[in-house]
Structures are given as C-alpha cells and as structure tokens.
Homo-oligomer: A and B are copies of this chain.
C-alpha cells in the first residue's frame, strides 16, 4: 500500500481527501434537505445571529461578498430567508430567517463539522490536542508561501472565526455596527 508515494505526497493526498469529503457531504445534504453545505451553513449562522447585515454574515461564515450574495439568492428563492434593506442606512441589507427557514433547520441534518466534532469527542484529550497542533502547523507551512516564514504558533494565535457550532451563541465580533440590536426599522426590498 502506498509504496510509491512519498510521505509528502501522502499528506497532499490526505488534504485532497478532506476536501473531497466536504464535497461529498454537501451532495448528501442536497438529497436530504435540498440545501448544499454552504447554504445550510449560512442559514444556520443567520439563525444564530437573528438579524445581521450581509457583511456581518459574510464574515461569520468566512465567505466573500460576491459568494455570499449568490448563496443568499438561492436561499431567498427557496423562501428560507428575508432580505431587506435597513431604513437607517439604506446601503445595508438585513438578513433574517423565515418561518420556513427555521422549520428547515429543525429537520436538517448536522453539518459535516458537527459530525466531525462528535468523532473528535471520541478521542482522548491528548489526541485531540495533537491533531490540532499538527494541522495548525500544516496550515502555517502552507500559508508561508509568499509571506514571511512559519509563524511560531502553539495553537493560540488564532483567527476569530466563530464558525458556529450548535451552541446558541451570538457572534461576538460583528464589525461593531449599527445592525446588531433588534431595531426593526427595515423595509421590504423588492428584488426583481
């Protein structure tokens, strides 16, 4: 097994397996709830935030604006979210989850992340720590392509990335902006 493969090759192959696993899971989701991974993820985060601008949402799910716009288009088309312009700052677009959106969420299977998390919980503490250290180191080595060399990290300097779990918690960072509070001064937006 894998005799011709160098150790380095095997690592790269493993990364590919991970990427592919994410993709496979996304396709399974489509069959089960008609939503892709990114869509479900976005819906979930939107539900946690309750009310959020597109920008804040993009940050929370770690996607670029244009990408999120496309995903939101699909979610709107399925009637899972509302997309409304704020009256306060009319550039801002506020996202909320519809009734149907919450229903969908209730019956939706877990994200790959969550399943993965469960598996992680089956491991010993030291194993998890080791996995984390290893993959972070890997990430650092790959990022070091152009910029300075591998930062010395022990697993502390991390990005914010509140990639949502299921723990109902409000994103702490939301780009301090007026959107957050529950101010409902929004109007329907008539997208064609």
Binding site for B on A (CB under 8 A): 1-19, 21-22, 24-25, 28, 62, 112-113, 115-117, 119-121, 128-132, 134-139, 141-146, 150-151, 153, 155-163, 165, 169, 172
Contact: A135 with B132, CB < 8 Å?
Answer: no
Query: Within the oligomer, what is the number of copies of this chain?
Result: 2
Set of chain B residues within 8 Å of A144, measured between Cβ atoms? 119
Main secondary structure of the interface of A (DSSP, over half): helix
Closest beta carbon of chain B to A16's beta carbon, Å: 5
Tell me the smallest distance from the CB of A68 to a CB of chain B, in Å.
15
A21 B142 Cβ-Cβ under 8 A: yes
Chain B residues near A135 (CB-CB < 8 A)? 11, 14-15, 18, 134-135, 138
Q: A1-B156, A13-B160 are in contact. List 12 more A-B contacts (CB 8 A).
A: A4-B172, A8-B116, A8-B128, A9-B161, A9-B165, A11-B128, A17-B139, A25-B145, A112-B145, A131-B137, A131-B138, A134-B134
